[in-house]
Structure 1
């Protein structure tokens, strides 16, 4: 694995000062980059470690912030902020664009080779960037089979992969079907992986605070979803100095 350097980056978005986590691979050359979005609770060490793992694979990676440096571990507080956000595509795009600008202006980033990967609210933001016409190489989401405004998914110009738990009450079958129908009607190159028996946020290690019903960690599927993300990046955003898929499979454990 490559030696990784990290730093905190501050930038304005949504009327807040966001505090993101930038991870850089070894070397000085430009690399393909990944914009990494967190669950609705906000940026945590889980996403920071995943950004570091992507940098180990050779990517420049930015784990972006949702709440101005706050982690909303109270479910009511999180929903009070995220539900209006998820109902406002333009606001989601503004948050995504602000983070994308930070990633694009990083000297180690190849601005023409960027993918968006996200979980929950962070995944929904990645989809909205695509619907807004941002040129991305891939969009990968977990727990975010969210639909957009009519017709806008036709602007997505890259493959889309979505992963969801079969027992996720927040993204139930009707929501998944609406998402796939939207992608199909728009002519998007899409894939949906349903992880049997998994709940919402199945990828996220257990937390020490109260969560809403229907949320739970599934360690086997968490590792599978991570490998699926690495496969997506290896296909759509390969690292020129080596095969990201091969490296990712050598380190199959999900970053915790």
Structure 2
């Protein structure tokens, strides 16, 4: 595992300032890049820790600030309206991720032709949607993404893009019907995709149970460990070609 250097990285889209966190391996040249997208609560310590672990694998990483101004959502009542605003405005949703991609490239030490995206919960949905939008990225990984937020028309997706879906069998936000719908959409255009479904696993399985959680979400140590291994192997293969 490589040692990393961390620094805040500011960028903007349509007048909104976003404050991401950049991690790069010490002494790195131009290495593959990974965008890491947070869940509904915003860019907090857990996802920053995950981003640093990804960078330690040898990648230049930007933990993006999707909400802007490093906003943290602590009131559950605010989550639905925030997600709804992004679902209703895909240009803003995808535009903010694209701004992060460009900021990562401009920051240096990144191979602009080898960039992937990964995310948790809404960040997982965002990662698949970024592929679906036709963004110039190599691949995407979704950790317990809400597949109910993902469309199934992948005709704009890059022909060489690859997708890895990591989901729980008991996640109501990623029902079997939604999973089949998204997989069928990717298959229809010949996209290279794979799915890992973890038994007895609810939504948010990588997030430790700190304080009250909705009944459909719970940490699962096995799924957390196995999904991280799957993501690591996926990126290693993705960036080797």
Q: Give the whole-Å Cα distance in 2 for the aligned partners of 1:121 and 1:86.
A: 10
Say yes or no: does 1:76 pair with 2:87. Answer: no
State the Cα deviation string for residues 202-243 of structure 1 (Å, max 9, x = none): 1112233x433311111111011111100100110149xxxx
| Residue 65 (structure 2) pairs with residue 62 (structure 1) | no
The equivalent of 1:117 in structure 2 is 118
Corresponding residue SS for 1:39: coil
Shift of 1:199: 0.7
The SS at the match of 1:161 is strand
CA drift of 1:151 comes to 4.8
Q: Is the 8 A contact 2:73 2:79 kept in 1?
A: yes
Paired residue secondary structure (1:47) = helix
2:18 corresponds in structure 1 to: 18
Tell me how large the CA RMSD over aligned residues is: 1.9
Does the CA-based 8 Å contact 2:66-2:97 persist in structure 1? no
Structure 1 residues 192 and 87, CA, compared in 2 at 3 Å: closer, same or farther? farther
Confirm whether residue 228 of structure 1 aligns to residue 230 of structure 2: yes
Going from structure 1 to structure 2, the CA distance change for 1:116 and 1:193 (only over 3 Å counts) comes to: same
Aligned to 1:242: none
Where in structure 2 are the equivalents of 1:153-192 lying within 5 Å? 154-155=157-158, 157-192=160-195
The 8 Å contact of residues 4 and 52 in structure 2, kept in 1 or not, is answered as yes
Q: Distance in 2 between matches of 1:165 and 1:104?
A: 33
CA 1:5–1:89 in 2, change beyond 3 Å: closer, same or farther? Answer: same
Q: Deviation per CA, 1:30-55: give whole Å up to 9, x if none.
A: 11111111112111111111111122
Specify whether residues 152 and 14 from structure 1 end up closer, same or farther in structure 2 by C-alpha distance, changes over 3 A only.
farther
Q: Does 1:137 align with 2:142?
A: no
Unaligned ranges ≥5, structure 2: none
CA distance in 2, matches of 1:229, 1:151: 22
Indicate whether 1:237 and 2:236 are aligned.
no
Q: How does 1:245-256 map to 2 (within 5 A)?
A: none
In the aligned structure 2, how far is the partner of 1:111 from the partner of 1:21? Answer: 18
Structure 1 residues 21 and 36 mapped into 2: Cα distance closer, same or farther (>3 Å)?
Answer: same
Deviates more, 1:161-170 or 1:79-88: 79-88
Instruction: Kindly indicate whether the alpha-carbon contact (under 8 Å) linking 1:89 and 1:128 is maintained by their aligned counterparts in 2.
Output: no
Alignment of 1:107 with 2:137, yes or no, is: no
Taking a change above 3 Å as real, the CA distance of residues 190 and 107 of structure 1, as seen in their structure-2 partners, is: same
TM-score, structure 1 as length reference: 0.86
CA distance in 2, matches of 1:171, 1:220: 19
Quick one: higher RCO (CA 8 Å, sep 6+), 1 or 2? 1
* Shift, 1:129, TM fit: 2.2
Residues 1:112 and 1:194: Cα distance change in structure 2 (over 3 Å): same
- Taking structure 1 as reference, are residues 15 and 195 closer, same or farther at Cα in structure 2, changes over 3 Å only? farther
